[in-house]
Every structure is written in structure tokens, then in C-alpha cells.
Structure 1
Amino acid sequence: MSDAPPIFSDDISIDLNSDEYFMSEALKEAMKAHKMEEVPVGAVIVSEGQIIGRGYNQVETLKDATAHAEMLALTAAQESLGDWRLSECDLFVTKEPCPMCAGAIVHCRIRDLVYGCSSPKDGAAGGGFINLLEQPTLNHRTEIRSGVLADQSAQILRDFFRAARVKSKRVDDQENQINV
């Protein structure tokens, strides 16, 4: 699974202050996770046009269920600014955040969330089963933009899980041969 798929063709031109540019940076983070055989999700946090926090899934590597890309990027951004409040910051992440990450996004007061592909099973930002970021009872609501580089974001996940299933099937086949 360490051979990560290409994300972009060489002929793409990207404005360095666009959602696509920052999402491409999040995809680079996702590639790091892919190379480590982690679920390939990546995130960057932007303040005043500059990336101040990066993260990629490291749940298996760190043996920490909270080591999602968003959580690690939020921590890096807070350290960069010296403040837990990220109200002038935008988060770009390749996959729709889960409830844990959505809760952290609200508590950190992220201004805008931009995500690539939706996550129907566990998404908590409007594309999945719930939208925690715009709940009227919360003290902060985050604006949401979705579908930015969605095809690339979804493809890296599909490739990862396809390879994991193939690897799992090979292990099952080997075990079945032993148990005959």
C-alpha cells in the first residue's frame, strides 16, 4: 500500500490563494498518511493566506484514536498562533470531518471549513448523517464549502481501502490454506 496514487496531472495550474491550492496542500498531507498505511486524510489550516498548521491521520502510528488529520492540524495552528482560538482561520481537509473533529472545529472557532469528499457514514459537516458545525444552539457556527477537489480526495481513499481489502484477502487465503 505504500505506492500512493498520483493526485494531479502535471498540466494543472492553481491560484496560490484559492481553495484548490490549499486543498492540494491537504492532499499532500493525505499522501503522507497513505505512505504510512494510515487512512489517507490530510488537513491544513490557513490564516491570512498562509498555512499555519498541517496534519495527516496518524491513528495507527501514534496508537491514538484522536490523531485525526484535523485534530493534529488544529493543534499545530494553535501552537503557531499561541492561542486556542482560531476564529480568523480556515481549515481545508480532504474528507468531511467526523463528529469528534467537527466538535473540535466548533470549539476552536474555525471560520470556514473546506472539505473535499463527503463521508455519508460518519460525516458531521452536512454531507454525512449530521451537521454539527451549523447547530443553532452552539456558540459558534462555521461556514462550510464542500466538493473542492472531491474526485482526488475520494480517489485516494478508494485506492487505500481497495488495497487494504486485497491485502486482507491474501491473508485470509493464506490462513485458509494453513487450516485445510
Structure 2
Amino acid sequence: MATAFMELALEQAKFALDNLEVPVGCVIVEDWKVISSGSNKTNATRNATRHAEMEAIDVLLREWQSMDLDQPQVAEKFAGCDLYVTCEPCIMCATALSIIGIREVYFGCANDKFGGCGSIMSLHKGATSSSDDLSGSQASKPKGFKCTGGIMAEEAVALFRCFYEQGNPNGLYFCMHILLYNDF
């Protein structure tokens, strides 16, 4: 079943690639049904925090807010959800997933530069003694989550290769290349 959900996450990543975004996609699943999906939108929004995970979380938060769910009800909902994402969540996203109390995360390829689920940091393991002091609120303390990586990793890496081979039109190298080698 993990492969079927990862295939849907890969579709979201392909959508991101088609829109000149870093090709990361995800789906959030509750009771074996996809209830939200997201893809990177950092370039479109010019906001470096608009990762696939944050996009999918925000869809649910808006939906649950419209249903007048309170904070404990939202926390209970997230505790019954799993997230499938094509690349290991970065440190920011892993922290957010831990705080909201997602039950489990399944990812494709590792994130050797910014990975928050074991590659760089292990934020999925939950609160540490230093993070316990960050907030007086129990609701905002990292809870941790189960994490499984390597699901369809080759497919996820292939999308990254496509992205970097075509060039990132919002990346510094691409912009410098355009400026240096074109007459205006």
C-alpha cells in the first residue's frame, strides 16, 4: 500500500517539476484514503517555506478550521494521519510534522543536505531536553513520529536529476548564465 501512496506523491512531484519547482510532492492519508496533497511552491510564491508538506498541512488546517474543529480535535486528527513524501522532510518540515503529531512519515530519497529524519538531524524522534524548554505549551512541543525511508527512492532521484539538468530558472547559476551570455 505504501507504494500506491508514494506513486501519488510522485505525481505531485511531477506537477512541481512541470511548474519549474523543485520536484517534491506529498500526500496525507487518513484511514487509507488521501485527504490532502501538496507540491513545492517556493518559486511560485517566492516563499522558501512553501514546501510540499506545508502546502498539504495548510489544506487540512483550512478545511478543519471551516469545520470549527478546536486545537485538541485537530491534534487528534493529525495523530491518525500518515504522510508520504518523495524526499526526506527537511529540518523545518520534520519539526512541523513532529509538532502537529503526525503518526508516521514515509519518504522516498534521503535529503543529504537538510534532512530532518536521520540524514542530518533526527527530529522524528521527538522532544529532547533542550526542546522541552522552548515552549510552555504542551501543544507546541515536538511529539515525534515513526519514519520509514527509501520507498521508490530511485524514482524520486530521477525527478531531481530532470530538474537540475533543465536548470533552475530561479537559481543563481541559471540567472548568471542568462545575464552573462545574452545581449540585451
Higher helix fraction (1 or 2): 2
Structure 2 stretches lacking a partner, 5+ long: 129-140
| Aligned equivalent of 1:129 | 120
How far residue 170 of structure 1 moved from its aligned partner, in angstroms, is: 9.9
Match of 2:93 among 80, 101, 109: 101
How far residue 169 of structure 1 moved from its aligned partner, in angstroms, is: 6.5
| Aligned equivalent of 1:10 | none
> Deviations 1:96-124 (Å, cap 9, x if unpaired)?
01111011101110000000000111111
Instruction: Look up the equivalent residue of 1:129 and give its one-letter code.
Output: I
> Deviations 1:38-81 (Å, cap 9, x if unpaired)?
00000100000111110000011012221100001112233344
Cα distance change, pair 20–80 in 1 and its aligned pair in 2 (3 A): farther
Q: Give me the whole-angstrom Cα distance separating, in 1, the residues matched to 2:24 and 2:162.
A: 12
Instruction: Look up the equivalent residue of 1:140 and give its one-letter code.
Output: K
Structure 1 stretches lacking a partner, 5+ long: 1-17
Instruction: Look up the equivalent residue of 1:141 and give its one-letter code.
Output: G
Cα distance change, pair 84–67 in 1 and its aligned pair in 2 (3 A): farther
Match of 2:37 among 43, 49, 54: 54
Instruction: Look up the equivalent residue of 2:94 and give its one-letter code.
Output: A
Matching of residues 1-180 of structure 1 within 5 Å? 18-81=1-64, 82=69, 84-85=74-75, 86-126=78-118, 128-137=119-128, 139-164=142-167, 172=177, 175-176=180-181
How many residue pairs were aligned?
161
Superposed CA RMSD in Å reads 2.4
Q: Give me the whole-angstrom Cα distance separating, in 2, the residues matched to 1:66 and 1:48.
A: 28
Percent identity between matched residues is 31
TM-score, structure 1 normalization:
0.80
Instruction: Look up the equivalent residue of 1:121 and give its one-letter code.
Output: K
